[in-house]
Amino acid sequence: MSGQRVLVSGMGSELGSLVAVKLEAEPWVGSLVGIDSDPPRRRLRKAEFHLLAPAQRERIVEVVTAFNPHVLINISVWEPDARAGLRDARTFTADAAMAIFGAAAECPALESVVVRSGIEVYGRGRGTPTRPDETAPLHPTSEFGKMLAGVEHQSAVLAGRAGLALGTLRLAPVLGKHVPSPLGRLLRQPVVPYSALADSPFAVVQDGDAANAFVTAAARRLNEPLNVVAPGAITTLQAALRGRRVPLPLFGPGWGLAGRLSNLFGAPIPDHVIEVMHRGRLADGARAVDVLGCAPANSTPQVIDHLYAWESIVRIGSIDQAVA
């Protein structure tokens, strides 16, 4: 299987560039091309990168069809209030999915598609399972969940028409020291609001573990949806206490005010994060461990600890000597 051509859509994101770095080290990857509207956040040695906005559909189609990949990894998903506001996130995600999947349908060599989704697609309506597995019905109850369900639908249509293997990775909220995440940003504020009446548990996944799942799914030609979730769970109050933040208990009307204040301080709270705090967000990740053969290395409490182990000042003492 050596010499495979792999296309990564969304290579500029933290997760996408991490996936690219890991793919460069894979012996089965012959050539690697990436597309994103932001440049990669890591140094890539083999990958060829194209800086393209999601709206540049014709140019994206040119790049993708000229490369004619064997494997497509789509990470072009904009979480609301992570890198863009809700309206832009919705537009960028829809445009990117249309351009990438449309172009992929024109590639005769394409064999496998791996898509980034999230456990937000299960929704948190009343009476829904506490830890849905991959067989649970999709009833997204947040804007982000609906966006992800839309991406899943488009990829399923593509895979069905072209007879491709389709692996869908439904990630728990991805956190990492440098991952732009509204949940991570909120938890790192000096004062962390939490639901006084519910304080429901949620699970997350480390960016490195999520990247490993993408690489393994691509290598194994995954052909089913999988939940990628770190073991264990934590509540917002517990996370704030672990990070030595000041927890702020809130009741119904207090959330509106807290949301506006948090937005002013640079940490907007989108509806899917509010849903996490009120209703929790867990999922059963056992199937992913069985199929991919690798469990997330970090538990949810460990991911939260890493999130807080973030130095505000990074001292690089050797720069002057190196320049000199």
Site for other proteins (CB under 8 A): which residue of 4, 93, 117, 200? 200
Number of residues lying near other proteins (CB under 8 A):
33
Hey, what amino acid is at 85?
A: G
239 contributes a contact to other proteins by CB under 8 A: yes
Q: Cα torsion for 212, 215, 218, 224, to the nearest 10°?
A: 10
43 contributes a contact to other proteins by CB under 8 A: no
The closest of 159, 129, 181 to 15, measured between CA atoms, is: 181
The closest of 50, 63, 66, 71 to 99, measured between CA atoms, is: 63
233 contributes a contact to other proteins by CB under 8 A: yes
From residue 8, alpha-carbon distances to 13, 19, 48, 105, 112 in Å are 11, 8, 10, 15, 12
Site for other proteins (CB under 8 A): which residue of 66, 191, 198, 294? 198
In sequence order, what are the beta bridge partners of 194? 249
Site for other proteins (CB under 8 A): which residue of 286, 289, 291, 295? 286
How far the first Cα of the chain sits from its last, in Å, is: 46
Count CB atoms within 10 A of the CB of residue 290: 10
Hey, what amino acid is at 126?
A: R
Candidates 123-131, 166-174, 205-213, 312-320 — which segment interacts with other proteins by CB under 8 A?
A: 123-131
27/129 with CB nearer other proteins: 129
284 contributes a contact to other proteins by CB under 8 A: yes
Site for other proteins (CB under 8 A): which residue of 4, 235, 262, 298? 235
26/305 with CB nearer other proteins: 305
180 contributes a contact to other proteins by CB under 8 A: no
Residues that bind other proteins (CB under 8 A): 126-133, 136, 195, 197-201, 203, 231-235, 238-239, 241-242, 278, 280, 282, 284, 286, 300-301, 305
